[in-house]
């Protein structure tokens, strides 16, 4: 076993230029219910980038190892661990203490990649309840995309969206969350209207199964297009990743009593939005915060049964981590930006 634990960390000042490699001691004193995992891959989320920049939580304590997502192999187990054995392939859950049901404030403070150290490290120690099994048909790189973007999307589409076959889902942009939403929606036999700023990316979402496509930079009144495409009824479910900049249009594109799953704020987080469409049309605006272990296990069952493959845009090496973050920030990606080091 290696003597040290290589990590990428923000030591004392936020900023991508301050994200550096460091050596920490290998966690040898793992608790009786803990599991030492040799991590092999991570995927980057927009949250991770904001965390590195000090924009997600400027009061985040440093040093911090970023990254909400990871995948790896069990290296050793504490003496009371019953769920895992050496060699098992595992994925750490995003909110380590959130195992089932609604979260409490304590479990929401147990998230990886801030406030807790994240997965951009060679070895991590996790409580045995803070892990799920890796879907066997996926590589670690593929599986490292599931814990944050995948689970958020699954909860939005399946648990909060309650999507039925034949219903219409509108996805905004082609980030990690939206692409998973297209895949889950197609898995459920639903119809997908997908938007993007890029015609090239729209061709790719068609190949992924999207039924209708809209370039939101060319058709800036995309909410009208959605209404036309749904015989003026509106979409049943909207995967809202834009936030303040897109929510007013989503309110026009949703059907009465439809659900807007409010997930991201890529186009702003503050707004003076009119409440009338919510009141007068019974629209449900549902915030989504990733999900718990129970939902992660259910999602993995669905992913395994349907042999769903996450869309990977690029795999960066350990030494290329800052480049990977820059690439994510550029918005050029289609699918998940990942890092692998095994
Ligand atoms: N609530 C939660 O639990 C949770 C979990 C995961 C992520 N999130 C949030 O959800 C958002 C999306 O996350 P992600 O991981 O999918 O991000 P991502 O992979 O970085 O998505 C980037 C893509 O979003 C699209 N986009 C950007 N601005 C847009 C706009 N104004 N309208 C429509 N699309 C736009 C662009 O797609 P095109 O290039 O195709 O235009 C861009 O390539 C982020 O704000 C993230 O923080 C929240």
CA of 265 to the centre of ligand 1 (A): 8
- Whether residues 9 and 140 fall in one domain: yes
Nearest atom, ligand 1, residue 288 CA = 1
Within a domain: 302: no
Ligand 1, atom 27: closest residue by C-alpha: 266
Within a domain: 305: no
The reported pLDDT for the residue numbered 224 is 98
- Whether residues 122 and 39 fall in one domain: yes
CATH number, residue 218: 3.40.50.720
How far apart CA 316 and CA 323 sit, in angstroms, is 8
- Whether residues 9 and 65 fall in one domain: yes
- Whether residues 126 and 163 fall in one domain: no
The residue to mutate among 173, 197, 313, having the most atoms of ligand 1 within 8 angstroms of its beta carbon, is: 173
Number of domain units in the chain: 2
Cβ–Cβ under 8 Å, residues 283 and 258? yes
Nearest atom, ligand 1, residue 267 CA = 31
- Whether residues 133 and 157 fall in one domain: no
Evaluate the CA torsion angle 275, 277, 279, 285 in order and state its sign. Answer: negative
CA of 25 to the centre of ligand 1 (A): 35
- pLDDT of 2 > 80? The answer is no
Within a domain: 171: yes
Quick one: what percent of the chain has pLDDT higher than 90? 94
> How confident is the model over 114-131, as a mean pLDDT?
97
- Whether residues 109 and 200 fall in one domain: no
The residue to mutate among 160, 266, 330, 333, having the most atoms of ligand 1 within 8 angstroms of its beta carbon, is: 266
Ligand 1, atom 10: closest residue by C-alpha: 264
- Whether residues 11 and 136 fall in one domain: yes
Within a domain: 125: yes
- pLDDT of 3 > 90? The answer is no
- Whether residues 119 and 192 fall in one domain: no
* Backbone torsions φ then ψ of 309, nearest 5 degrees: -115, 120
pLDDT digit string, tens, across residues 182-226:
999 999 999 999 999 999 999 999 999 999 999 999 999 999 999
Within a domain: 194: yes
CA of 15 to the centre of ligand 1 (A): 21
> How confident is the model over 256-268, as a mean pLDDT?
95
CA of 239 to the centre of ligand 1 (A): 10
The reported pLDDT for the residue numbered 1 is 44
How far apart CA 185 and CA 163 sit, in angstroms, is 8
- Whether residues 324 and 196 fall in one domain: no
- Whether residues 276 and 316 fall in one domain: no
- pLDDT of 29 > 90? The answer is no
Within a domain: 304: no
Cβ burial 291-302 (10 Å sphere, 16+ → b, else e) = bbbebbebbbee
CA of 127 to the centre of ligand 1 (A): 30
User: Measured between alpha carbons, how far apart are the two ends of the chain, in Å?
Assistant: 14
The reported pLDDT for the residue numbered 332 is 93
Q: Which of 315, 342, 332 is nearest to 44 (CA)?
A: 315
Element (H, E) at 336: strand 336-340
- Whether residues 239 and 124 fall in one domain: no
Ligand 1, atom 8: closest residue by C-alpha: 264
Domain housing 206:
150-287
CATH number, residue 322: 3.90.180.10
Within a domain: 115: yes
Of residues 221 and 266, more confidence is placed in 221
Within a domain: 218: yes
> How confident is the model over 43-53, as a mean pLDDT?
96
pLDDT digit string, tens, across residues 280-331:
999 999 999 999 999 999 999 999 999 999 999 999 999 999 999 999 999 9
Q: Which residues line ligand 1 (CB under 6 A)?
A: 45-47, 148-149, 152, 172-178, 196-198, 201, 216, 241-242, 245-246, 263-267, 288-290, 328, 331
Query: How far is the CA of 41 from the CAs of 140, 176, 330, in angstroms?
Result: 6, 16, 21
- Whether residues 272 and 207 fall in one domain: yes
The reported pLDDT for the residue numbered 4 is 87
* Backbone torsions φ then ψ of 252, nearest 5 degrees: -85, -20
């Amino acid at each position: 076993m290696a003597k040290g634990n290589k990590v990428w960390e923000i030591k004392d000042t936020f900023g991508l230029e301050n994200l550096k490699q460091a050596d920490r001691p290998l966690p040898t004193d793992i608790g009786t219910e803990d599991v030492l995992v040799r991590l092999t891959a991570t995927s980057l989320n927009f949250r991770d980038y904001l965390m590195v920049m000090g924009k997600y939580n400027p009061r985040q304590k440093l040093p911090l190892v970023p990254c909400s997502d990871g995948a790896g192999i069990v290296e050793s187990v504490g003496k009371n661990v019953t769920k895992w054995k050496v060699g098992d392939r595992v994925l750490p859950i995003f909110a380590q203490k959130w195992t089932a049901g609604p979260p409490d404030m304590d479990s929401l403070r147990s998230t990886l990649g801030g406030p807790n150290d994240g997965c951009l490290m060679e070895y991590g120690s996790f409580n045995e309840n803070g892990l799920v099994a890796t879907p066997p048909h996926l590589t670690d790189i593929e599986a490292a995309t599931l814990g944050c973007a995948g689970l958020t999307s699954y909860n939005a589409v399946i648990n909060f969206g309650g999507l039925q076959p034949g219903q219409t889902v509108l996805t905004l942009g082609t980030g990690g969350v939206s692409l998973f939403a297209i895949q889950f929606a197609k898995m459920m036999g639903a119809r997908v209207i997908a938007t993007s700023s890029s015609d090239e990316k729209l061709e790719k979402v068609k190949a992924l199964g999207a039924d209708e496509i809209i370039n939101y930079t060319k058709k800036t009144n995309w909410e009208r297009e959605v209404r036309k495409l749904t015989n003026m009824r509106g979409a049943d479910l909207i995967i809202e990743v834009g936030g303040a900049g897109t929510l007013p249009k989503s309110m026009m594109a949703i059907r009465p009593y439809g659900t807007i799953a409010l997930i991201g704020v890529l186009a702003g987080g503050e707004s003076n939005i009119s409440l009338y469409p919510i009141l007068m049309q019974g629209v449900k605006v549902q915030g989504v915060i990733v999900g718990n272990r129970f939902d992660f296990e259910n999602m993995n069952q669905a992913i395994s049964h349907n042999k769903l493959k996450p869309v990977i845009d690029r795999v960066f090496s350990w030494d290329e981590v800052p480049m990977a973050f820059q690439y994510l920030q550029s918005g050029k990606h289609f699918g998940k930006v990942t890092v692998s080091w095994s």
